[in-house]
Structure 1
């Protein structure tokens, strides 16, 4: 009989894990034609997340866990879960119930009926989010889709079900700086999107701050497009051309009309403009260079301190 793996990255989720288990187990009992396993990946939680997981293991032999030596980030937790699951079909979802377990049955049935490679959810509203956060999220999708060859569907989530072939393809991408939203699209395969309303956390607080999401967005931009580097070149070219035209203008104005050249304000303005553009270009180059530096180190993406598989 085939196996369905549920991979659940966890970071400080002790308040919601029991609720999640109660909900997901109701759904899994309705899927009778396949074996199941639930793999919780404890990403260096500072609360009692691991203790709660181990208590759940005592009453359900389908539950397994991986626990990191420290917090390596959600991308590493996703990778570890996919690396260690054995399922013919693999579900990736969060524990906070923002990914409704009831959708797992729907996505599984779609995959079996349509014989597609991946079924994923797409959030069609951002109800409950701040307007600023929603604005920047929409702006990110517009920017990344305008400059990258990899097109990302606005509102798409990590919550999805994949075939073993898809999972194996993801695992072949060995980069250190991982951006799963882009990876899921880059590998291709037939994908069906299921629409989903925004759902609030069932308990606890999110570990994603605005700055954390901003850094994650920068990671995505750097990982899947070199457009910022080209942008720096364009800015430099435009500035050089503008400076040359302005120089010709000053020469002609002085020779023909004998006009005085305003020195100090002009020099200060030019220095500020050129300095700002140079710093922007250096910052963009530095961002790509830092990613290259981390890739060259070839460090492990995570260390497992404890596991039961």
Structure 2
């Protein structure tokens, strides 16, 4: 039984990695008062871009992640132009971006369906990987998982310990005051949106080149929406987001191991569990108005005109 639990937790860490990348990117974006509902579309375009370049040019996984990041940034730039420069509705722009990303990824990916890539082998960190129980879970993963750990530490440190983090929060709380103090609010928001797009693109490229690794139409399968929900679940705090990503990753993996564990549960119900959990969490969090009011960026989703 202990072997099965270890296997479930180890695969949970890998399954949560795209949620960590995409969630951290959306967290930084929303800290500046911008909500981008196009995470799903950016992840899909990042996934097909990373996969297509890898298949055509035999790129390394690291290069494929870079291609995915660039693709995600280009998608985010479209959103930023319409929602920030033209001051259109952010929610509508985000939804349109997701629909566009789904169509574009399907169009580009029609020649790559079911093609495979080598993927990545786990790295066994000396000494640490031999620690009972914890070793196989945390220290026998591929290097992209470790990159997600580094990304979390950097985002947490910037938001909690640096002047830049305070500036991002100030722009999210009162863009008018930040503008009056001489800060380029639109420039800061552009940078945050592009960062969010890059992280979503990396998350998508990880799915198609490492986690699967193959191209399947709409392979992101709602993870972009879960990443957005994670930000609310975490009440805009990076440490809680990391915890939430692993909780949702565990729910996703549970459906794959349930049959092997002998659980007599319909597969359709298990497949719906991550999305059901998302709805339940959002309902529970939304009931606590005090927590939301204390942590919600005051200008979230609101248009700013210099």
Compute the TM-score of the two structures, normalised by the length of structure 1: 0.24
Q: Which has the higher strand share?
A: 1
- RCO comparison, higher one (Cα < 8 Å, 6+): 2
Indicate the structure (1 or 2) with the bigger Cα radius of gyration: 1
Q: Which has the higher helix share?
A: 2
